[in-house]
């Protein structure tokens, strides 16, 4: 995957604003993101960003921003997804700690919070949220021991464990996708009983849990997963 050149202009200006070309709308867009999470390859080279932009009505959007050719023929920041298969968030951590078990959470905010609080793990996520897994390259998880930590809601569980629709078709979650590329083992932290949507970042930043409390709670909620792949019913 193409890396951002070292001489690329910063995405975020000194005033906190980001200006990008939006190919879908054919115009430039300036915004003030609440977060700008950098995606890097295994060597630490910048690949692009996922922004978190909070709207006035309380909604949020999380566009992917990559270094592309703009309408004037010059390379610049564009609102364009990572090319498929898209990178995991935390490839540099995976490469830096090849012997650590891997903790997979939903969202960059949770991944960074987990990385700070749980140093025994290489903590990662993926772009695109609960519907983005099928576009991601999970090959870097081959041979690794994984622990999945879903958000405490139905979309979070389905993102990690997959789902079955009303016709009986099976849609892979992170567990199945990681198993297909050769993950060595997969376990799950079951968040049942927590408030809807609760996650690692909520535990640490809202509930005020210490890293030790977080680790102790999770240790009582870990369960083994027995992954069974049924390709006869797998959705295309």
Examine residue 9 and state whether it is found in any structural domain, yes or no: no
Does 99 share its domain with 161? yes
DSSP code per residue over 157-219: HHHHH-EE-TTS-EE--HHHHHHHTT-SEEEEE--TTSPTT--HHHHHHTS---HHHHHHHHH
> One digit per residue, pLDDT tens: the chain, 236 residues?
889 999 999 999 999 999 999 998 899 999 999 999 999 999 999 999 999 999 888 789 999 999 998 888 889 999 999 999 999 999 999 999 999 999 999 999 999 999 999 999 999 999 998 889 999 999 999 999 999 999 999 999 999 999 999 999 999 999 999 999 999 999 999 999 999 999 999 999 999 999 999 999 999 999 999 998 999 999 87
What pLDDT is recorded for position 55? 84
Q: Which domain holds residue 160?
A: 91-233
Examine residue 142 and state whether it is found in any structural domain, yes or no: yes
What lies within 8 Å, CB to CB, of 213 at 6+ separation is 203
Does 42 share its domain with 151? no
Does 216 share its domain with 119? yes
Burial grade of 135 (CB within 10 A; 0-12, 13-18, 19 or more): middle
What pLDDT is recorded for position 74? 86
**Final residue belonging to a domain, choices 79, 103, 118:** 79
What pLDDT is recorded for position 71? 81
Does 142 share its domain with 203? yes
**Final residue belonging to a domain, choices 79, 101, 131:** 79
Does 188 share its domain with 102? yes
Examine residue 86 and state whether it is found in any structural domain, yes or no: no
Examine residue 157 and state whether it is found in any structural domain, yes or no: yes
Which domain CATH number covers 172? 3.40.1360.10
Does 170 share its domain with 142? yes
CA–CA–CA angle 161, 178, 118 (5° rounding)? 80
**Final residue belonging to a domain, choices 79, 109, 124:** 79
DSSP code per residue over 54-123: E-TTS-EE--EEEEEE-TTS-EEEEE-PPPSSBPPBTHHHHHH-TTS-EEEESSHHHHHHHHHH-TTSEE
Inter-CA distances, 52 with 55, 85, 140, 211, Å: 10, 21, 25, 25
Does 150 share its domain with 45? no
Q: Give me 173's structure tokens.
A: 């979650």
pTM (predicted TM-score): 0.95
Does 74 share its domain with 146? no
Task: Yes or no: say if 168 and 208 are a contact pair by the CB < 8 Å rule.
Answer: no
Number of structural domains, the chain?
2
Does 224 share its domain with 143? yes
Examine residue 3 and state whether it is found in any structural domain, yes or no: no
What pLDDT is recorded for position 56? 82
């Amino acid at each position: 995957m193409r890396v951002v050149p070292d001489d690329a202009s910063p995405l975020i200006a000194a005033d906190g604003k980001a200006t990008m070309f939006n190919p879908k709308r054919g115009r430039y867009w300036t915004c003030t993101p609440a977060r700008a999470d950098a995606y890097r390859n295994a060597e630490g080279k910048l690949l692009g960003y996922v922004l978190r932009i909070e709207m006035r009505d309380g909604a949020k959007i999380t566009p992917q921003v990559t270094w592309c050719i703009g309408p004037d023929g010059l390379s610049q920041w564009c609102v364009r997804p990572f090319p498929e298969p898209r990178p995991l968030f935390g490839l540099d951590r995976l490469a830096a700690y090849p012997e650590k078990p891997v903790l997979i959470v939903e969202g960059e905010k949770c991944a960074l919070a987990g990385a700070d609080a749980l140093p025994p793990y290489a903590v990662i996520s993926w772009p695109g949220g609960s519907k983005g897994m099928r576009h991601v390259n999970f090959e870097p998880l081959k041979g690794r021991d994984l622990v999945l930590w879903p958000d405490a809601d139905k979309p979070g569980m389905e993102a990690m464990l997959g789902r079955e629709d009303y016709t009986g078709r099976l849609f892979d979650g992170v567990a199945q996708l990681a198993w297909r590329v050769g993950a060595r083992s997969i376990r799950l932290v079951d968040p049942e009983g927590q408030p809807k949507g609760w996650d690692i970042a909520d535990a640490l930043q809202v509930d005020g849990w210490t890293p030790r409390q977080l680790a102790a709670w999770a240790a009582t909620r870990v369960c083994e997963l027995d992954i069974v792949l049924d390709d006869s019913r797998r959705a295309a």
